[in-house]
């Protein structure tokens, strides 16, 4: 049997809902999870975000667990629980005892940090909470997923800004291909809606207070989101042996670094990662039908990504369906590439391309088929999910339809 890596379980928490069905239904409807922010300090100019509205931690975790769980860890656990259940596995079961858990994050436990600094500097307390470090550390989500699901194999965190989850997925795939593990729970989580982070993003001047409309002429920037996305990946042999339902094959990864500007996207670096993913998957460029774009809605990204796709695909670029689901779930930073992977898997499995929501008319330099505003039924044999991060860190995932 060929040594392939397949996807058998999906889980997510996002501004579109607390589970994958709500997430996918929202995208197929072209519904945006972006809404006015509630309870934000008057000193913050950012007024919109894709938040998980109505979330009640007490409904999901015990009172003894909550003091140890930053919001980003809570979302990571919930998404991992769903993915494990969706894969037909059991928490603390024998199959998970040797599994890996690799969780990406761009921010880590920022809510814990913010609460601590507020207590020390604003309220003039002299002591921090004794669990501040283990609750807020970037690896907290990975550790908590391990503890709550009984995962005892390799467990660690990956931090590469907005490509964190995609890098975690690639790392998990390499572990499965090497034979180190048969199963890995991979993805990302981030919750950036704190005063300090919002002020920091405000200073970058890339945030829209209108909405996120990637690739449109009147786009005004990105909109932050929060949440978590998790997928269960397995070796084909292991998945078939246990009779698992297989969504798609995770057939390739392409990684590159621009080694250039800290924030400005580079067409060469992006093109390199896309080409490497296609080559790693053993695909012909013309076999790719769908691209889940990084698509932030910023002036620089949307043009650079479009140029890179034209450079890689040539004339075939005009036949690609290219969409940005950030128009609906926002830019959830280290979790975005995991949410977008879930969307791409569902697109392949459900033969439906989610739209680019809020689209008006193409922007200058944005001349591809962005599937505006309405989902499209389409057979997809191969797809890519693009993720590009500050620091010039690019990660592209290649997926193929499963016909096993």
Distances (CA, A) of 305 to 162, 218, 268, 275, 368: 15, 17, 10, 13, 11
Active site residues: 162, 294, 331
CATH number of residue 287's parent domain? 3.40.47.10
DSSP 50: B
**246 within some domain:** no
**119 within some domain:** yes
Q: In the structure, what pLDDT confidence band is assigned to residue 214 with cuts at 50, 70 and 90?
A: very high
Distances (CA, A) of 42 to 38, 45, 47, 49, 199: 11, 8, 10, 15, 11
Q: Return the pLDDT at 89.
A: 97
Give the integer Cα–Cα distance in Å for 136 and 300.
Answer: 33
Same domain, 227 and 260: no
Give the integer Cα–Cα distance in Å for 99 and 80.
Answer: 13
- Sheet of 248-257: strand order equals 155-158, 100-104, 183-190, 227-235, 5-13, 248-257, 393-401, 382-389, 290-292, 321-323
> Domain count of the chain?
2
Strands 100-104 and 183-190: parallel
CA-based nearest residue to 321, from 309, 307, 336, 338: 309
pLDDT digits (tens, 9 = 90+) for 22-67: 999 999 999 999 999 988 777 899 999 999 999 999 999 999 999 9
Inform me whether the pLDDT recorded for 241 exceeds 90. yes
Same domain, 80 and 219: yes
Mean pLDDT of the chain: 96
DSSP-assigned states of every residue in 189-222: EE---SHHHHHHHHHHT-B-SS---TTBTT---B
Q: Return the pLDDT at 2.
A: 66
| Contact of 389 with 327, CB cutoff 8 Å | no
Mean of pLDDT values over 377-393: 98
**130 within some domain:** yes
Say if pTM beats, i.e. exceeds, 0.85: yes
Give the integer Cα–Cα distance in Å for 170 and 175.
Answer: 9
Mean of pLDDT values over 185-207: 96
Q: Return the pLDDT at 136.
A: 97
Same domain, 22 and 101: yes
Q: Give the DSSP H or E segment for 254.
A: strand 248-257
Give the integer Cα–Cα distance in Å for 123 and 20.
Answer: 40
Give me the percent of the chain exceeding a pLDDT of 90: 93
Same domain, 68 and 147: yes
Give the integer Cα–Cα distance in Å for 187 and 103.
Answer: 5
Q: Return the pLDDT at 146.
A: 98
Inform me whether the pLDDT recorded for 1 exceeds 60. no
Work out the angle between the directed axes of helices 336-350 and 164-178 (0-180°, nearest 10). Answer: 60
- Assign residue 402 a region (left: φ > 0; alpha: ψ between -120 and 50; beta: otherwise): beta
Inform me whether the pLDDT recorded for 254 exceeds 80. yes
Same domain, 347 and 315: yes
Q: Return the pLDDT at 40.
A: 79
**247 within some domain:** no
* Residues spanned by the domain of 215: 5-241
Domain boundary (206, 241, 276) is at: 241
Same domain, 257 and 308: yes
Please state which of the ranges 2-11, 161-170, 293-302 shows the lowest mean pLDDT: 2-11
Same domain, 381 and 286: yes
Give the integer Cα–Cα distance in Å for 357 and 362.
Answer: 13
Q: How many residues does the chain have?
A: 404
Q: Return the pLDDT at 403.
A: 87
Mean of pLDDT values over 360-388: 98
Q: Return the pLDDT at 81.
A: 98
Q: Is 60 helix (H, G, I), strand (E, B) or coil?
A: coil
């Amino acid at each position: 049997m060929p040594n392939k890596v397949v996807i058998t379980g999906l889980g997510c928490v996002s501004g579109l809902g607390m589970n994958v069905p709500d997430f996918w239904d929202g995208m197929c409807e072209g519904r945006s999870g972006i809404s006015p922010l509630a309870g934000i300090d008057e000193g913050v100019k950012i007024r919109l975000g894709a938040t998980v509205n109505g979330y009640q931690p007490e409904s999901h975790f015990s009172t003894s667990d909550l003091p140890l769980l930053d919001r980003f860890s809570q979302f990571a656990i919930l998404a991992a629980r769903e993915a494990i259940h969706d894969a037909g596995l059991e928490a603390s079961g024998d199959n998970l005892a040797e599994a890996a858990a690799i969780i990406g994050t761009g921010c880590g436990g920022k809510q814990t940090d913010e609460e601590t600094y507020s207590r020390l500097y604003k309220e003039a307390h002299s002591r921090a909470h004794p669990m501040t470090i283990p609750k807020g550390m970037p690896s907290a989500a990975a550790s908590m997923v391990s503890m709550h699901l009984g995962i005892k194999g390799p467990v660690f965190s990956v931090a590469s800004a907005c490509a964190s989850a995609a890098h975690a997925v690639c790392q998990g795939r390499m572990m499965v291909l090497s034979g180190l593990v048969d199963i890995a729970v991979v993805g990302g989580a981030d919750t950036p809606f704190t005063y300090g982070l919002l002020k920091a993003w405000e200073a970058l001047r890339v945030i829209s207070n209108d909405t996120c409309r990637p690739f449109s002429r009147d786009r005004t920037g990105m909109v932050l989101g929060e949440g978590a996305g998790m997928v269960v990946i397995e070796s084909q042999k292991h998945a078939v042996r246990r009779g698992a339902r297989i969504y798609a094959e995770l057939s390739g990864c392409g990684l590159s670094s621009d080694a250039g500007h800290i924030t400005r996207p580079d067409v060469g670096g992006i093109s390199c990662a896309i080409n490497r993913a296609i080559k790693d998957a053993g695909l012909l460029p013309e076999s790719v039908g769908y691209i889940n774009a990084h698509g932030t809605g910023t002036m620089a990204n949307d043009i650079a990504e479009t140029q890179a796709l034209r450079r890689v695909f040539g004339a075939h670029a005009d036949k690609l369906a290219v969409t940005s689901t950030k128009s609906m779930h926002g830019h959830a930073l280290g979790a975005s590439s995991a949410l977008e992977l879930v969307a791409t898997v569902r697109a392949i499995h459900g033969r439906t391309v989610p739209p680019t929501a809020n689209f008006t008319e193409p922007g200058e330099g944005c001349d591809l088929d962005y599937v505006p505003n309405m989902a499209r039924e389409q057979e997809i044999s191969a797809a890519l999910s693009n993720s590009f991060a500050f620091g010039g860190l690019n990660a592209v995932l290649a997926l193929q339809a499963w016909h096993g």
